[in-house]
């Protein structure tokens, strides 16, 4: 969109009068040359930043193929004797629970989060964006307020209540908030998206006699697809990475999602087996990395629009 404005030097272009054809050709040539140099400089710097940024990730991947002694002792990025032994150890799991059980637990929590968040947040966002009722402004302010609220202030009473209800150790405390639109980020994202959809659509539908339920399901939801996709991907990844929630609510290893399993794995491999730890870390991260590779455009756009409309 915005090219770096070719800095026409005042000496050649002159503020009064247009430059002659000869002058402008020379200027163009000079700018072209300069732009090529700039392009090279841009790529050199960018690639250097990429190298620094991606180094830990690359290092993590190659480390899975090395024995632990070589991970710590050697600086070489290429393994001397690559082997998949670390993955065998990682897939065996920990505490009598196989890796796939942890994987399944994570999947269950993540899919539950996605379903809950898309349902509850889209419905609530519709109320904020399209229905006029008393109290809407106040509730909207409160909803934005919860974006800034540190979660610590609600976590203790929540824990106490779930404990008294006998739900600690189940997935209910981890999922109920997703079904009750408790993550304001998603509500906000969807409200902003819906506000940009043309009003004429629902007005026309209303004249035709459609109620809010019809308008929401038949008009809004299909148009909201990009916002729903972005939300779903974020909901999946955040649930997949969540550590604090499972840490306080779950205690039995066979219910652990991957982050907790990883922590257990690190704690129980007494002589730090970095190779196996890396392998498990990579396996735990794979779905997130795949999601990222496939959907990176949605993710980056989601962040950009969410930020701008603030």
Partner 1 sequence: MRRRRKAAETRAGYAFLAPWLLGFVLLTAGPMIASLYLAFTNYNLFTSPEWVGIENFQRLFQDPNYIQAWRVTALYALIGTPLKLVSALAVAMLLNNSRRGQGFYRSAFYAPSLIGASVSIAIVWKAMFIDNGIVDRAGQTLGLPAGGWVGDPGRTLPMLILLTIWQFGAPMVIFLAGLKQIPTELYEAASVDGAGPVRKFLRITLPMLSPVLFFNLLLETIHAFQIFASAFIISSGTGGPARSTLFYTLYLYFRGFRDFQMGYASAMAWVLVLVVGAISFVMFRTQNRWVHYSGESK
Restricting to residues 75-134, which ones interact with partner 1 according to CB under 8 A? 75, 119-121, 123-124, 126-128, 131-134
Residue 168 CA, chain-centre distance (Å), reads 27
Q: Token digits for 187? A: 């509500």
Residues 227, 91: Cα–Cα separation, whole Å: 36
Q: Is residue 248 involved in binding partner 1 (CB under 8 A)?
A: yes
Residues 162-221 that bind partner 1 (CB under 8 A): 163, 176-177, 179-182, 187, 211-212, 216
Q: Which of 110, 116, 104, 113 is nearest to 256 (CA)?
A: 104
Kindly tell me which of 29 and 36 has the beta carbon lying closer to partner 1: 36
Please report how close the Cβ of residue 172 comes to partner 1 at its closest, in angstroms: 12
CB 67 within 8 A of CB 275: yes
Residue selected from 37, 244, 268, 294 as contacting partner 1 according to rule CB under 8 A: 244
Please report how close the Cβ of residue 221 comes to partner 1 at its closest, in angstroms: 13
Residue selected from 165, 289, 290, 294 as contacting partner 1 according to rule CB under 8 A: 289
Q: Is residue 141 involved in binding partner 1 (CB under 8 A)?
A: no
CB 240 within 8 A of CB 106: yes
Please report how close the Cβ of residue 84 comes to partner 1 at its closest, in angstroms: 18
* Exposed/middle/buried for residue 229 (C-beta within 10 Å: 0-12, 13-18, 19+): middle
Residue selected from 26, 37, 49, 218 as contacting partner 1 according to rule CB under 8 A: 49
* Exposed/middle/buried for residue 125 (C-beta within 10 Å: 0-12, 13-18, 19+): buried
CB 99 within 8 A of CB 283: yes
Q: Is residue 11 involved in binding partner 1 (CB under 8 A)?
A: no
Kindly tell me which of 15 and 199 has the beta carbon lying closer to partner 1: 15
């Amino acid at each position: 969109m915005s090219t770096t404005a070719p800095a026409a030097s005042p000496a050649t272009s002159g503020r009064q009068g247009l430059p002659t054809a000869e002058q402008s050709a020379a200027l163009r040539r000079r700018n072209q040359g300069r732009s090529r140099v700039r392009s090279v400089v841009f790529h050199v710097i960018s690639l250097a930043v990429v190298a620094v940024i991606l180094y830990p990730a690359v290092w993590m991947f190659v480390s899975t193929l090395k024995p632990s002694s070589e991970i710590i002792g050697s600086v070489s990025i290429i393994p001397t004797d690559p082997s998949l032994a670390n993955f065998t150890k990682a897939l065996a799991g920990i505490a009598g629970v196989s890796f796939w059980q942890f994987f399944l637990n994570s999947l269950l929590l993540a899919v539950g989060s996605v379903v809950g968040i898309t349902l509850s947040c889209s419905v609530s966002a519709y109320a904020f964006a399209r229905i006029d009722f008393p109290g809407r402004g106040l509730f909207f302010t409160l909803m934005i307020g919860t974006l800034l609220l540190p979660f610590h202030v609600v976590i203790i009473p929540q824990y106490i209540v779930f404990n008294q209800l006998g739900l600690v150790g189940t997935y209910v405390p981890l999922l109920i908030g997703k079904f009750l639109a408790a993550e304001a980020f998603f509500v906000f994202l969807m409200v902003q998206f819906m506000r940009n959809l043309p009003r004429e659509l629902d007005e026309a539908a209303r004249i035709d006699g459609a109620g809010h339920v019809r308008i929401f399901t038949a008009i809004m939801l299909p148009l909201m697809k990009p916002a729903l996709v972005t939300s779903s991907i974020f909901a999946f990844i955040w649930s997949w990475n969540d550590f604090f929630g499972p840490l306080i609510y779950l205690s039995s290893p066979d219910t652990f999602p991957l982050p907790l399993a990883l922590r257990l794995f690190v704690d129980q491999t007494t002589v730090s087996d970095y190779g196996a730890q890396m392998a498990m870390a990579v396996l735990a991260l794979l779905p997130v990395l795949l999601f990222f590779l496939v959907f990176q455009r949605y993710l980056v756009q989601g962040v950009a629009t969410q930020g701008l409309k603030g």
